[in-house]
């Protein structure tokens, strides 16, 4: 547990809101501590491995959801031990998401090499981060040979164009949610549509995780019960951006529909 904010995507960090500000278990920031999770947590993958063997499938595991696995302030031994757990649980597919893809090759090599059942991903919230992080992820793909690569375009904060050479194998989009005192920013509908279209055109798996707190008018509500007009013109609940009208309906009601469709694609992995 623990991390340091490095980009605008970090402004509403859910892990900080939960583990630092709410529970006080770890201090965020460059001078904050990094705390190892419990022995029970480290034993969970072996339980999941036994179940996966029984079921004959390969479930995905999001690793280090309260930290960044390629944060260079981790104790290097923790990363080496985490990689060892991954190698000993081959039925599991580990999703290693980082905002520091430039560290992947060096830190993986120091930990004995990237496990063959690990996938590498990076957070990309806007074009600036796309121009920095996607080329770095591509270098890591060449150097470490992950199971696949993925881009987490969440929270999506701007229009992004991905050069074909840097297109990851899996594209995940999502709007922002409120976290503590941080109020969600609007993810414009055009930004999400652009990434959807780029991924599908490139033949890549596309997954739309959530719309976030805000929903554009004309989009499908999850429960179909809320009248968007009822929020009036309070700027905290209603905004017009680039010709689109958005209402703050909350993440549950905004749901996952994009132009009436749920996008649930996952990359295919060998048995």
pLDDT of res. 237: 84
Q: If you compute the radius of gyration of the chain from its CA atoms, what whole number of angstroms results?
A: 19
pLDDT of res. 43: 97
What angle (nearest 5°) sits at the alpha carbon of residue 128, between those of residues 208 and 235? Answer: 65
pLDDT of res. 254: 93
The model's pTM is: 0.94
Q: Which two tokens stand for residue 61?
A: 């595991």
Task: Assess contact for 173 and 154: CB atoms under 8 A.
Answer: yes
Buried b (16+ CB within 10 A) or exposed e, 227-253: ebeeeeeeeeebeeeeeeebbbbbbeb
What count of residues does the chain have?
A: 271
pLDDT of res. 95: 98
DSSP 228: G
Any residues with CB less than 8 A from the CB of 183 and at least 6 apart, and which?
213
pLDDT of res. 221: 82
The CA-based dihedral angle spanning residues 100, 106, 107, 108, taken in that order and rounded to the nearest 10 degrees: 110
Domain regions of the chain by residue span: 8-153
pLDDT of res. 224: 62
Tens-binned pLDDT, residue by residue, of the chain (271 aa)? 999 999 999 999 999 999 999 999 999 999 898 999 999 999 999 999 999 999 999 999 999 999 999 999 999 999 999 999 999 999 999 999 999 999 999 999 999 999 999 999 999 999 999 999 999 999 999 999 999 999 999 999 999 999 999 999 999 999 999 998 999 999 999 999 999 999 999 999 999 999 999 999 888 887 665 555 555 567 778 899 999 999 999 999 999 999 999 999 999 998 8
Task: Assess contact for 206 and 171: CB atoms under 8 A.
Answer: yes
Backbone torsion region of residue 9, taken as left when φ is above 0, otherwise alpha when ψ lies between -120 and 50, otherwise beta = alpha
In terms of Cβ atoms closer than 10 Å to its own Cβ (0-12, 13-18, 19+), residue 260 is: exposed
CA atoms within 13 A on the CB side of 143: 16
């Amino acid at each position: 547990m623990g991390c340091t904010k490095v980009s605008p995507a970090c402004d509403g960090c859910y892990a900080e809101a939960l583990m630092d500000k709410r529970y006080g278990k770890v201090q965020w920031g460059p001078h904050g501590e990094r705390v190892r999770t419990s022995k029970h947590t480290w034993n969970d993958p072996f339980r999941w491995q036994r179940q996966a063997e029984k079921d004959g499938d390969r479930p995905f595991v999001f690793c280090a959801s309260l930290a960044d696995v390629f944060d260079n302030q981790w104790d290097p031994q923790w990363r080496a031990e985490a990689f060892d757990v991954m190698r000993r649980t081959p039925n599991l597919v580990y999703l290693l998401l980082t905002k520091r893809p430039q560290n992947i090759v060096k830190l993986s090599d120091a930990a004995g090499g990237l496990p063959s059942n690990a996938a590498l991903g990076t957070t990309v919230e806007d074009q600036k981060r796309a121009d920095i992080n996607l080329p770095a992820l591509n270098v890591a793909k060449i150097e470490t040979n992950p199971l696949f690569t993925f881009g987490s375009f969440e929270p999506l904060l701007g229009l992004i164009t991905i050069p074909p050479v840097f297109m990851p194998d899996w594209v995940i989009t999502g709007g922002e949610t409120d976290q503590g005192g941080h109020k969600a920013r609007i993810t414009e509908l055009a930004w999400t549509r652009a990434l959807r279209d780029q991924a599908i055109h490139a033949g890549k798996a596309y997954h739309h995780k959530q719309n976030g707190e805000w929903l554009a008018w004309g989009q499908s509500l999850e429960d179909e019960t809320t009248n968007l007009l009822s929020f009036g013109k309070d700027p905290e609940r209603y905004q017009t951006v680039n010709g689109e009208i958005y209402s703050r309906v909350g993440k549950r009601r905004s749901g996952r529909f994009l132009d009436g469709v749920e996008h649930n694609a996952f990359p295919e992995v060998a048995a």
